[in-house]
Structure 1
Amino acid sequence: MWRQFRDGEWPTLRELLSHLGRVHGCLWVPLLFCFLGPVLTVMASYPVIRSARHRARLSFPPHRGHGPDASVLRVQTIRAWLAVGASLAILAVFGTSEDWNEAQQQYYLRLIATPWLLLLTAPVVMALLFRKATPARRTEMRARLRPVLRSALRFFGAFTAFVVLAGLLVLVFQETISGDGSGGSPDAVLVVAGLVTYVAVVWLGFFLWFASGTVVRTAFGTADVHPALPALLTGVLVWELSLISFVVSDLPPGPLAVQLLAVLGGPLSVTAVAWWEIGRLRRAR
């Protein structure tokens, strides 16, 4: 079941409860007694989360079109884990509680900023690639551009709907708790509207969460336009994100050599892997 949650289609709530029902009753009694509220919340929200993930995988297939070969994917994974380990080691040795909080804030900043940077950077990189391509290759690339544009519009349309509905939810909530303005009970229509809006906001939030990883990894499927585009975009994006992190936050903790390694090590290693991937694509042609 763990592989199913990680790679495949999540089981339905009935299938999940059937599987969990095999657990001995002695374990369920204290679990329900101590965590009844969270358990009921998870059970109520699981179908919504499952639906959002299913739709995200349909709209943004994780293995769509061209992708890195096994060797490139293995090196990318190793590099990513080494970067995480190095960051944690620096924080563990030299960091304070404020540094840990700042690292968490940087993580959320990158999570939010990366799709927007990708939207702004991709046209520039594709324009340069179009300029370097031959006329025949340019015509072929232009024909493959429409699915990429539809994928980008779908993602940012969902993001816009999420922001609008979240703002509407705040207004409905404020109106509901105020009743009719004179301390009366809240209007039933507002309560129903608030619940519907809340479910929609939760669904869109998880849809964007599950889609973001694929969107960033595949760059909206730009490999269908040109196999080298994801590597090029990754190389540019990592320097843009490093510049943003440098501007909005302080240097990492530790001696100057450690700070330089933390600031430049990530972008340089990502650029090296991207350059190596492009070299493999050239030799494979």
Structure 2
Amino acid sequence: MSSGGPYDPYNPYQPPPQYPPPYGPPQPPPPHPYGYPPPYLPPQPPPPTSLWGSLRGLRGAEWPPLRVLLRGGRDRIHGCVWVAALLPCTAFLTLPLMAGYVFARSARHRAHLLFPPRGHRRIEDPDVARVQRVRAWTAVAMSVLLLVVYGKPEDVSEAQQQYMTRLAVTPPLLLLSGPVVITFLFRMASPAAKAYMRPRLRAAGRSALAYVGAVTALPLLVVGLVMVEVRGRGDLDPGFPWAQLALTAPFFWLLFFLAFATGPAVRTGFNSAGVHAALPALLTAVLVWEFTLISLVTGGLPPGPPAVQVLAVLAGPLSVTAVVRWELHRLRTRHGVTLRA
């Protein structure tokens, strides 16, 4: 019997066996960085959401249902507070607040479905947005400086009145100016671009009609409430409370709807921003010159010497037009967006 050889188990000098890749001898597990194995941690429940934490998240995210919002404050608010909130002497305040939250949540959800808050730009350009913010804050600072240097007390009240007037006339002015700018772009567009724009024009028209319908329904509901009130006082109609509730509920829902829909509707041009990437810039240039004419007609020239007055009147629309021109240039050179495409 021979002994030895490369695979002789009794040969103390034989080399260790070689394993073909990717196999090899079993390796021990790597040592834990802290010297001991990690302990087993069962899955932890999510931290309870406080009522204040729930309220802080209402601005940007979807509003939670009322039961979820109340459940968030159940562990943070003492039970005596809940009992006191439901007493008859305080229910006249807490119950309308709860009902108002339900109405506001429903109206906000519908308004943001119809007018997405962040749908005012098809192409987001951080440089353009930064220049627009700088221009806007510069305009505010120059207006305040003009009032401080040359203004009188009546000029301050007139400036506040012009600001409120601008807020009031912006939606109807946009409804009148938007179709003109859209018609201009549609006539300049190529046949392929027109086929792309048609369904988006129909969607924008439906959203604009919905907003106009909500605005029109509010005075009609007010007239209906007045008529129901007069009839209920005179005839003592037993159905008067139900008729009043049937008109009051949609009235407050429409108020909440318009409060949440007006801002996104103005920013998106009643969803016309999706029709053409250059449309928001063109609408901005048109609106700023219209606002300048309205301010001159309603309030006259700003305070100061004649040269300062002319500069104050023309600086705003000219600077906005320059920014719009630069934005259109960037859309054409960086994104290939032209007025005919």
**TM-score range for the pair, normalised by the shorter chain length:** 0.7 to 0.9
Q: Does 1:5 align with 2:55?
A: no
Judge which range, 203-212 or 167-176, deviates more.
Answer: 167-176
Per-residue CA distance 1:236-274 (angstroms, 9 max, x = gap): 011112211221223334444554444333322322222
Judge which range, 111-120 or 233-242, deviates more.
Answer: 111-120
Judge which range, 135-144 or 156-165, deviates more.
Answer: 135-144
Tell me if the contact between 1:235 and 1:274 (Cα under 8 Å) persists in the aligned partners: yes
With over 3 angstroms needed to count, the CA separation of the structure-2 counterparts of 1:79 and 1:206, relative to structure 1, is: farther
Percent of aligned pairs sharing the same letter = 51
What is the CA–CA distance in structure 2 between the aligned matches of 1:194 and 1:167, rounded to whole Å?
Answer: 12
Calculate the TM-score normalised by the size of structure 2.
0.68
What is the CA–CA distance in structure 2 between the aligned matches of 1:93 and 1:21, rounded to whole Å?
Answer: 54
Q: Which of the two has higher C-alpha Rg?
A: 2
What is the CA–CA distance in structure 1 between the aligned matches of 2:240 and 2:188, rounded to whole Å?
Answer: 57
What is the CA–CA distance in structure 2 between the aligned matches of 1:96 and 1:21, rounded to whole Å?
Answer: 53
Aligned pair partner of 2:136 in 57, 80, 96: 80
What are structure 2's unaligned runs of at least 5 residues? 1-52, 337-341
What is the CA–CA distance in structure 2 between the aligned matches of 1:127 and 1:96, rounded to whole Å?
Answer: 44
What is the CA–CA distance in structure 2 between the aligned matches of 1:15 and 1:93, rounded to whole Å?
Answer: 53
Calculate the TM-score normalised by the size of structure 1.
0.80
Per-residue CA distance 1:191-246 (angstroms, 9 max, x = gap): 33233323322221221121111111111222322100111011101111221122
C-alpha displacement of 1:150 = 1.2
What is the CA–CA distance in structure 2 between the aligned matches of 1:14 and 1:260, rounded to whole Å?
Answer: 58
Indicate the residue corresponding to 2:331 in structure 1.
281
Per-residue CA distance 1:153-211 (angstroms, 9 max, x = gap): 111111111232133234334555xx217xxxx54533332333233222212211211
Counterpart mapping for 1:9-20 below 5 A: 9-19=62-72
Q: Does 1:113 align with 2:163?
A: no
Indicate the residue corresponding to 2:43 in structure 1.
none
- By relative contact order (CA 8 Å, sep 6+), the higher-ranking structure is 1
With over 3 angstroms needed to count, the CA separation of the structure-2 counterparts of 1:100 and 1:220, relative to structure 1, is: same
What is the CA–CA distance in structure 1 between the aligned matches of 2:70 and 2:156, rounded to whole Å?
Answer: 37
Judge which range, 126-135 or 8-17, deviates more.
Answer: 8-17
What is the CA–CA distance in structure 2 between the aligned matches of 1:106 and 1:194, rounded to whole Å?
Answer: 37
C-alpha displacement of 1:44 = 4.1
**RMSD value, Cα:** 3.1
Q: Does 1:53 align with 2:103?
A: no
Tell me if the contact between 1:56 and 1:211 (Cα under 8 Å) persists in the aligned partners: yes
Tell me if the contact between 1:118 and 1:219 (Cα under 8 Å) persists in the aligned partners: yes
Q: Does 1:133 align with 2:189?
A: yes
What is the CA–CA distance in structure 1 between the aligned matches of 2:148 and 2:230, rounded to whole Å?
Answer: 43
Q: Does 1:214 align with 2:269?
A: no
The structure carrying a bigger helix percent of its residues is 1
What is the CA–CA distance in structure 1 between the aligned matches of 2:312 and 2:118, rounded to whole Å?
Answer: 31
C-alpha displacement of 1:70 = 2.7
Counterpart amino acid of 1:158?
Answer: A
Q: Which runs of 4+ in 1 moved over 6 A?
A: 21-25, 36-40
Counterpart amino acid of 1:56?
Answer: A
SS of the aligned residue for 1:180 comes to: helix
Counterpart amino acid of 2:294?
Answer: I
Indicate the residue corresponding to 2:220 in structure 1.
164
What are structure 1's unaligned runs of at least 5 residues? none
Aligned length: 272
Counterpart amino acid of 2:105?
Answer: R
With over 3 angstroms needed to count, the CA separation of the structure-2 counterparts of 1:93 and 1:280, relative to structure 1, is: same
With over 3 angstroms needed to count, the CA separation of the structure-2 counterparts of 1:104 and 1:174, relative to structure 1, is: farther
What is the CA–CA distance in structure 1 between the aligned matches of 2:101 and 2:57, rounded to whole Å?
Answer: 15
With over 3 angstroms needed to count, the CA separation of the structure-2 counterparts of 1:52 and 1:79, relative to structure 1, is: farther
Q: Does 1:180 align with 2:228?
A: no
Tell me if the contact between 2:66 and 2:102 (Cα under 8 Å) persists in the aligned partners: yes
What is the CA–CA distance in structure 1 between the aligned matches of 2:178 and 2:315, rounded to whole Å?
Answer: 24
What is the CA–CA distance in structure 2 between the aligned matches of 1:261 and 1:201, rounded to whole Å?
Answer: 45
Indicate the residue corresponding to 2:210 in structure 1.
154
C-alpha displacement of 1:282 = 0.6
What is the CA–CA distance in structure 2 between the aligned matches of 1:39 and 1:245, rounded to whole Å?
Answer: 44
Indicate the residue corresponding to 2:239 in structure 1.
189
Tell me if the contact between 2:115 and 2:268 (Cα under 8 Å) persists in the aligned partners: no
SS of the aligned residue for 1:5 comes to: coil
